[in-house]
Amino acid sequence: GIHRTWWKESSIYQIYPSSFQSHSPNRPTGTIRGITSHLSYIQSLGTDTVWLCPILASPQIDMGYDISDYRDIHEGYGTMEDHDELIRELHARKMKYVMDLVVNHTSDQHEWFKKSRSSRGKGNEFRDWYIWRPAKYDNGGQRQPPNNWLSYFGGSAWQWDETAHEYYLHLFAPSQPDLNWENPSVVSAVHSMIRFWLDRGVDGFRMDVINFISKEPGLPNAPVTDPTSPWQSAIALHSCGPRLHEFLQGIGAILKEYDAFSVGEMPGVGDEKEVMKSVGQEREELNMIFHFELVSIDGQTQDKFLPRNWTLQELKRIISKWQAMMLTNHGWNALYLENHDQPRSISRFASDAPKYRKFSAKMLATFLALQSGTPYIYQGQEIGQINLPRSWGLDKYRDIETLNHWRDKVLVEYPEDKEFQDRMLREYRKKGRDNARTPMQWDGKSRNAGFTGEATQPWMDVHPDYTEWNVENQIDDPDSVFSYWKAVLALRKELKDIFVYGDFQMLDPEGEESVVFIRSADERNKALVVMSFKDYETEWQVPEGVRSFLQCPVKLKNYEDEPQLRRGGGEGGESSAMILRPFEALVYVSS
């Protein structure tokens, strides 16, 4: 059987500190004390581990994923004392605390980088802490970057530095230089920083783009996949390099000493052998990883804002692949549909039309939380928050990824093409990271939804639908999205032999309308989970071996009245089809 442990049974609540809660009425962003004030709320949802996006000192070019001091708290969020208090309060509630570990890169304002860039001389012991390379010169004698790698935030992944006349590598913004993990001093500095936080009470880490820390030696050019650009997506060359597992085991050994938890963010990873090296139980590297196959389903590889048509069949293939992979190899899944980099799941995978929003939210909660794995709920997801209003212009957007895309790509490559520009603006509203970054909607009455004081302009506007969609309205309403999340997370815990530790079987892999799976502990204890992904009525033909479930109690449903079954002509008059209403979700449990 599966090895039992707390982080498999846990549900994790992700907080975006900038947008959660300000403890003071005149702050434009959330604060750590604001977070501490809501721990009972988080616990009442049924989540018992909290992951905070970066809260360390940072110039905030990329919302804290650009750290300038690994041992200090970002001023706008509070102090070290506030942070100690948060940890104390979490532990007093028997909750766990997961910190964001960002060690593929630092901010260019970090002391290490300031020293590194100061000279190329032999005496500069920090020079080799980052990835520096001399320029190349083309036939016309023009200076060129060392290779053709594309940065995630647009343009070349190399930045020319005037001080010592070399380029440095930055897979993200130029203000986020990549650390050189080939240098043992970098590795030991990271290790000691990890210990520093574990000693302060941190229970584990979410590791930012952790598969990027080992790159292909020699940093060769990437193959040309986009002939219209000099810069090419190089993920195969800058991720999962030859020393990745050595580095992960180095970190893993420290985590083991402290019995600490880990989840690695791993864009571009999908190969079973590679995945199992990182999360295979016996390898002691990571407990679980975030993969990107599901959230990449609707975008193109070279540019996520270029839409891609997808089918429900593809979605089911991805789910089945990861469920089977982990269950057969004793790995473990991290389940997510939302985070601070992704649009809201209702808008993306179901429907945010007023008539369907609540059904969609509940259906997706069922879909996420009842798979095998540890579910991550991103702040606001539990009350059904949706993407930015269609009416918002770019002036309300804040994210470097979207704003760079507009400035460096759309305006440069399509300066006259009004139609393309409008199309891209619509795509930002579908996939831009800002969709998930509006402030948390606590109440419907005060001007900033209770996020900060009414006289303060928040760093990002509150979504105008807060008047209706907010925590206060939902917390005591048994029919709310919040109450449904609570119920589904409680059911998962109550029947953990089935929902946490049980097997997974996808039914009807080809069907384009619904997702149906079976979770089972053994022959007697199992559940049938049925979900419609359509905004119209559909019919699901229930296979013979599955029909007996329809006599079992319905443990969860998102429509008030009973499921609509159609009786077949056969003997016994067993039901043979289900009529599913828009975004209907049903959970039958046999035991």
Contact footprint for ligand TEU (CB under 6 A): 62, 65, 102, 152, 172, 208-209, 265, 267, 304, 340-341, 401, 433
Query: Least Å distance between CB 67 and ligand TEU?
Result: 9
Give the contacts of 289 (CB within 8 A, at least 6 positions apart).
263, 264, 265, 266, 269, 275, 278, 279, 334
Chain residue at closest Cβ approach to ligand TEU:
65
Question: Which of 265, 338, 434, 465 is the catalytic position?
Answer: 265
Residue type, 190: V
Q: Which is nearer to ligand TEU, 406 or 549 (CB)?
A: 406
Q: Which is nearer to ligand TEU, 173 or 369 (CB)?
A: 173
Q: Which is nearer to ligand TEU, 7 or 290 (CB)?
A: 290
Rounded distance, CA 247 to CA 186, Å? 11
Distance of CA 430 to the CA centre of its chain: 16
Query: Least Å distance between CB 104 and ligand TEU?
Result: 7
Question: Which of 208, 352, 427, 508 is the catalytic position?
Answer: 208
Give the contacts of 494 (CB within 8 A, at least 6 positions apart).
none
Rounded distance, CA 122 to CA 385, Å? 54
Q: Which is nearer to ligand TEU, 48 or 208 (CB)?
A: 208
Catalytic annotation present for 561 = no
Which of 138, 175, 220, 154 is CA-nearest to residue 62? 175
Q: Which is nearer to ligand TEU, 48 or 401 (CB)?
A: 401
Query: Least Å distance between CB 388 and ligand TEU?
Result: 16
Q: What are phi and psi of 560, to 5 degrees?
A: -65, -45
Q: Report how far apart, in Å, the C-alpha atoms of 411 and of each of 155, 225, 275 are.
A: 14, 22, 39
Which of 185, 205, 248, 253 is CA-nearest to residue 55? 205
Q: Which is nearer to ligand TEU, 96 or 433 (CB)?
A: 433
The DSSP bridge pattern shows strands 575-580 and 538-541 to be antiparallel
Query: Least Å distance between CB 294 and ligand TEU?
Result: 13
Is the Cα dihedral 396, 398, 402, 403 positive or negative? positive
Query: Least Å distance between CB 153 and ligand TEU?
Result: 8
Query: Least Å distance between CB 206 and ligand TEU?
Result: 9
Q: How many C-beta atoms surround the C-beta of residue 557 within 10 A?
A: 18
Rounded distance, CA 495 to CA 12, Å? 18
Catalytic annotation present for 314 = no
Give the residue numbers annotated as catalytic, written as ranges. Answer: 208, 265
